[in-house]
């Protein structure tokens, strides 16, 4: 009896892993890219020089510039009020200095017509000039600085002016200064001064009368404040 040999089943064919792109192209896996520039890993500039670091992001398109704001020529609001206040302060300072100069000129002008004419010009045209200087000082810092320096001298000048006015009033009381000149200097008529002194003396002699006069003066002041 013949024996039949049974062949063992063949081992299943092993499936190979799919080829990678490198294997498909014949380039070993992990090999550097042949197209990469090893001298310039971050690329090159427009002139061909290697970049030291990654390139910057592309700039966004520039925005259209904003149209300039139109400034109004009229000055309104707090800034305008502040400017007017500054201008007024410098103008008043200038006028005080002007009076300090004009007063002695008027006194000297009693004996010198040329000096008297100078005093008249300053007294007439000076205030308008001071107003203009005040406006200019509010706009130009260097003008304000000059007036500020004069303000430092102003208190001393005010003391001198007060002394000159006392001397001028005494001179007017004794007839040394004509009435028309005294009016320009702001002096008081001697008769008015004498009448005031007499009234004060009479009131002091009668305390009750003085108290009544004081009450009347206080009531008159209160009524003036209330607009009565």
Please report the pLDDT score of residue 129 as a whole number: 92
Phi, psi of 182, deg, nearest 5: -60, -35
Per-residue pLDDT for 173 more than 80? yes
Please report the pLDDT score of residue 216 as a whole number: 79
Output 169 or 34, whichever has higher pLDDT: 169
Phi, psi of 89, deg, nearest 5: -65, -45
Q: Which two tokens stand for residue 86?
A: 């500054």
- Tokens 């107003």 found at: 131
Q: Over range 93-97, report the average pLDDT.
A: 83
pLDDT above 70 coverage of the chain, percent: 63
**Which residues 6+ apart lie within 8 Å of 98 measured at CB?**
122, 126, 127, 130
User: Is 130 in contact with 150 (CB distance < 8 Å)?
Assistant: no
Sign of CA dihedral 150, 153, 159, 160: negative
The predicted-structure confidence for 98-154, as pLDDT tens digits, reads as follows 887 887 888 778 778 898 889 889 988 999 999 999 999 888 889 888 888 877 766
First to last CA, the chain: 159
Per-residue pLDDT for 220 more than 50? yes
C-alpha 181/C-alpha 103 separation (Å) is 11
Say what angle helices 190-205 and 141-173 make with each other, to 10 degrees: 70
Q: What is the pTM of this model?
A: 0.40
**Alpha-carbon dihedral angle through residues 88, 90, 94, 100, given to the nearest 10 degrees:** 100
Per-residue pLDDT for 13 more than 70? no
Per-residue pLDDT for 188 more than 80? yes
Average pLDDT, the chain: 72
C-alpha 120/C-alpha 131 separation (Å) is 18
The predicted-structure confidence for 62-88, as pLDDT tens digits, reads as follows 565 666 665 544 454 455 567 778 888
SS3 state of residue 50: strand
């Amino acid at each position: 009896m013949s024996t039949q040999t049974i062949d063992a089943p063949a081992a299943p064919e092993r499936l190979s892993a799919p080829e990678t792109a490198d294997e498909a192209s014949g380039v070993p896996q992990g090999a550097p890219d042949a197209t990469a520039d090893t001298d310039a890993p971050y690329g090159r500039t427009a002139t061909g020089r290697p970049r030291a670091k990654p390139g910057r992001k592309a700039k966004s398109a520039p925005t259209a510039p904003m149209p300039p704001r139109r400034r109004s020529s009229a000055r309104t609001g707090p800034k305008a009020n502040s400017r007017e206040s500054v201008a007024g302060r410098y103008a008043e300072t200038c006028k005080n200095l002007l009076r300090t100069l004009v007063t002695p000129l008027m006194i000297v002008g009693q004996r010198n017509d040329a000096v008297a004419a100078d005093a008249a010009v300053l007294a007439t045209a000076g205030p308008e000039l001071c107003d203009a200087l005040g406006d200019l000082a509010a706009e130009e810092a260097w003008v304000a600085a000059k007036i500020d320096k004069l303000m430092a001298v102003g208190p001393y000048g005010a003391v001198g002016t007060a002394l000159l006015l006392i001397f001028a009033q005494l001179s007017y009381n004794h007839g040394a200064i004509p009435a028309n000149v005294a009016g320009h200097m702001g002096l008081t008529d001697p008769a008015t001064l004498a009448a005031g002194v007499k009234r004060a003396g009479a009131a002091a002699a009668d305390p009750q009368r003085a108290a009544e006069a004081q009450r009347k003066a206080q009531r008159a002041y209160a009524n003036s404040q209330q607009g009565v």
